[in-house]
A and B are shown apart, each in its own frame.
Chain A
């Protein structure tokens, strides 16, 4: 295992209300490669020891959250339409369209983030080849992936001289977290905190604790 920097060169804006963590991304792909069933049916957590990432004694992997500078945001809308007359006519049904309940039509806002240079960057310590294979199956990032948001143009996995998977030097040389860290690992006096889990799956709230987290991304221009 070696320190790595991983970069996603996006070709479109992505939508995500939470930071995109590298370990959860890799665990998800690992689960798919092992044909795990959907989590709604059976939640099988990919074993931490099997991940191609260095496991820290405190229970998390040496893998950062996405680092980015935000160039701007946009809000677009996505629509979900009820099935139309064509569908019903095909099966000899009347033209009555059921458009309530589960089939209700939506017109929903979706806030998207445009990163500066279209770059998202992660740092980790891990097996480069296996990580590259797993990431090669990731074409979209964030929310509403299957509808084309967060399209990745190219991935780049490169050796990195230092391990920045937990902490990295900031602009002033002081160390800043690159992922949620327990207090014993956080820089002294670090005040950016969030209640979350220290390892995947991050969507779950059990085991959440107050952790030191990376600072909010810098925003170059806020346009609506």
Chain B
């Protein structure tokens, strides 16, 4: 038993100077600090008031001065970033599983949900033994990283994604606790409201294009043509949406920066590798938030810091000057285990996924197709 004379103050996932417990394993506690730089306006809706979509905000008090009124600071929720991260990793995994995609096209939709959502390992009353769970986690490491379901129970995952904190005057004290370098940067930034802008988007109406008469059925086009000169009020009275409506969005302007952290506790090397793969795939696709199709949410993602007991990363950060070089080295050294794993075991993974059938097709019933299936369920013949 050890005692202390002075206070120990430490950040989460940092190795401590005091004696480690004897049972402490080699599993890694690690967190990456990611700088998200906006290259186009970022849209992340909180709610819609009238026809304006407001940007997501977080309520904040100044911890040093509790008498100050609350402020609302724009943020990107961890839920949103986690979704983007998961989608990026799923995309990568999908491509690794089937080089030409042909093998994947034969999979049932529930199998894709299984891949994406972390997986549900059985029916509502299913049970799974620990050995089975560990085997699935070995083959599908994303089950242990993202979590999954077993009947009515939840299997927690290990991935933790923080909110994206806007680099602004109000957030300096918060960001400084995540990364001192980014804290210094945030100290030079403007108040949060300066980064908000208002976008006006129009709702396109394909029926008004020159091609519409050729592409639409004649009776459909004639019906539209008879109403094309109606006023907005007439449209409203007729119950149709006005195709000429404007939509207003609050967005964070280009050039603003967010700080985001992603990591986990007690990660295996494979799970750690997955996080790296997810980060770099996300950086490759580089569009986040809403309205991506119209060019919003283009971001640069850079790993600017790492805390935890992954010494190579810290050593790398101490020796590498350029950000691009650091990014390359992290990717080369840590991203390969997961890529190799999926490529090596692709046949086995696809074999298990192929057993997940879509009962909706077989029984012709509507509803949740995956409800009755799972990798543990008996293989069903799609031809039946």
**Residues in chain A within 8 A of chain B (CB atoms):** 1-2, 9, 11-13, 29, 32-35, 37-38, 40-42, 52, 71-72, 74, 76-81, 83, 86-88, 90-93, 98, 100-103, 112, 114, 116-119, 127-130, 132-140, 144-149, 151-159, 220-221, 223
Contact = CB atoms under 8 A, between A and B. Distances in A.
Contact of B12 (A1, A118, A152, A221): A152
A13 B56 CA distance: 15
B82 A12 contact: no
Contacts of B23: 33-34
B248 to A, nearest CB: 20
B58 A40 contact: no
A151 B133 contact: no
Given A92-B105, A133-B21, A154-B10, A147 B79 contact: yes
A71 B263 contact: no
A147 to B, nearest CB: 4
A147 B78 contact: yes
B79 A78 contact: yes
A157 B70 CA distance: 29
B185 interface: no
Contacts of B133: 37-38, 41
A39 B11 CA distance: 28
Contacts of B113: 83, 98, 102-103
A221 B112 CA distance: 47
B210 interface: no
Contacts of B105: 91-93
B109 A146 contact: no
Nearest to A4: B4
Nearest to A114: B61
B172 to A, nearest CB: 11
Contact of A93 (B12, B29, B112): B112
Q: Is the interface of B mostly helix, strand, loop or mixed?
A: mixed
Most buried by A among B9, B149, B153: B9
A90 B81 CA distance: 21
B163 A12 contact: yes
Contact of B263 (A78, A118, A130, A139): A139
Nearest to A28: B156
Contacts of A80: 79
A155 B9 contact: yes
Contact of B371 (A101, A140, A151): A101
B109 A88 contact: yes
Given A132-B16, A159-B4, A12 B66 contact: no
A100 B367 contact: yes
A33 B24 contact: yes
Contacts of B154: 40
B161 A146 contact: yes
A138 B265 CA distance: 8
Interface string B10-43: 1111111011110111010101000000000000
B148 to A, nearest CB: 9
Contacts of B173: 11
B363 to A, nearest CB: 14
Contact of A139 (B12, B77, B147): B12
B300 interface: no
Nearest to B102: A92
Contacts of A119: 63
B120 interface: yes
Given A91-B105, A103-B113, A148-B161, A155 B58 contact: no
Given A78-B77, A147-B82, A220 B13 contact: no
B7 A158 contact: yes
A102 B120 contact: yes
A129 to B, nearest CB: 4
5 contacts: A76-B58, A98-B109, A118-B63, A129-B16, A136-B29
A90 B77 contact: no
A158 to B, nearest CB: 4
Closest 4 CB pairs of A and B: A101-B368, A148-B78, A40-B153, A158-B7
Given A2-B3, A145-B160, A132 B31 contact: no
A135 B266 CA distance: 12
Contact of A147 (B9, B60, B77, B263): B77
A1 B134 CA distance: 36
B139 interface: no
A88 B116 CA distance: 11
Contacts of B265: 29, 32, 137-139
B11 to A, nearest CB: 5
Interface in B68-96: 70, 77-79, 81-83, 87, 90-91, 94
Contact of A40 (B1, B70, B150, B370): B150
B245 interface: no
Given A12-B163, A72-B59, A101-B371, A223 B70 contact: yes
Contacts of B56: 76
Given A129-B4, A223-B70, A136 B12 contact: yes
Interface in B149-182: 149-150, 153-157, 159-163, 173-174, 177-178
B128 A41 contact: yes
B5 interface: yes
A105 to B, nearest CB: 12
A156 B58 contact: no
A217 B63 CA distance: 17
